[in-house]
Amino acid sequence: MKHIELNGQVREAGNKAAVKAVRRAGLVPCNIYGLGMENILFTVDAQDLKNITHTPNSYIIDLKLSDGRNGFAVIHEVQYHPVTDEAIHADFLFVSEDKPVTIEVPVKVTGHSEGVKMGGKLLVSSRKLRVSAMMNNLPDLLEVDSTHLMIGKQIVAGDLNYEGVTIVSPKATIICSVRPTRATQQAKMEQGKK
């Protein structure tokens, strides 16, 4: 999985006014925890955070804090402003190379399905799946081959298998399906009348 560097400025816990001042300065208040370490409060540049949150890609974050502490992290949760859609807070989790990492990975549906060739329409229902794997086994994306998918059929998370990767998303999560179109239903009805 790709790594991306993020610099954080360690901060003290503050009141609402202090947090608002941080946001006005174009920074996002964050905290990080995990691996039995204490919570660390810090801020990151809002634009730097957008490079991670406003992309279909998933990253392992090489976090470099102003007090010299560095480590690998993943985004755990981001809270957005209800009107402006700007990030107002982010939680990160420390991860290590010797423990499995759980993260959402983009899904890429490949192949030209049989059902589409017969006039059906391919619907992609899941753009990301939650997986768990050792850091060096984490894929940048999960390829899902839809070639053999017929009209009315679907591929669910439980159908997928990748070496060294455990899919954590519910097994019934629909990845993609081929739905009949009006034209294919019409043709079926006309065939039934003959």
What is the reported pTM?
Answer: 0.80
**Percentage of the chain lying above the pLDDT 70 cut:** 94
When pLDDT is cut at 50, 70 and 90, the band that residue 189 belongs to is: low
| Domain enclosing residue 11, as ranges | 3-96
> 89 and 38 in one domain?
yes
Residue 194 is predicted with a pLDDT of: 60
* Final residue belonging to a domain, choices 65, 96, 127: 96
CA 175 → CA 24, 114, 137, 172, 185, distances in Å? 40, 17, 22, 9, 23
45-75, pLDDT tens digit by residue? 999 999 999 888 999 999 999 998 889 999 9
Residues forming a β-bridge with 131: 103, 167
* Final residue belonging to a domain, choices 96, 119, 150: 96
Residue 37 is predicted with a pLDDT of: 80
pLDDT over 90 at 156, yes or no = yes
> 133 and 50 in one domain?
no
Task: Decide if 11 contacts 45 (C-beta within 8 A).
Answer: no
> 174 and 146 in one domain?
yes
> 87 and 112 in one domain?
no
User: Residue range 154-164: average pLDDT?
Assistant: 95
Cα–Cα distance between 20 and 67 in angstroms, integer? 23
When pLDDT is cut at 50, 70 and 90, the band that residue 192 belongs to is: low
Residue 41 maps to which CATH number?
2.40.240.10
When pLDDT is cut at 50, 70 and 90, the band that residue 79 belongs to is: very high
User: Residue range 30-55: average pLDDT?
Assistant: 90
Residue 149 maps to which CATH number?
2.170.120.20
Residues forming a β-bridge with 130: 104
- H or E stretch at 16: helix 16-24
**Alpha-carbon dihedral 21, 84, 127, 90, rounded to 10 degrees:** 10
| Number of domains observed in the structure of the chain | 2
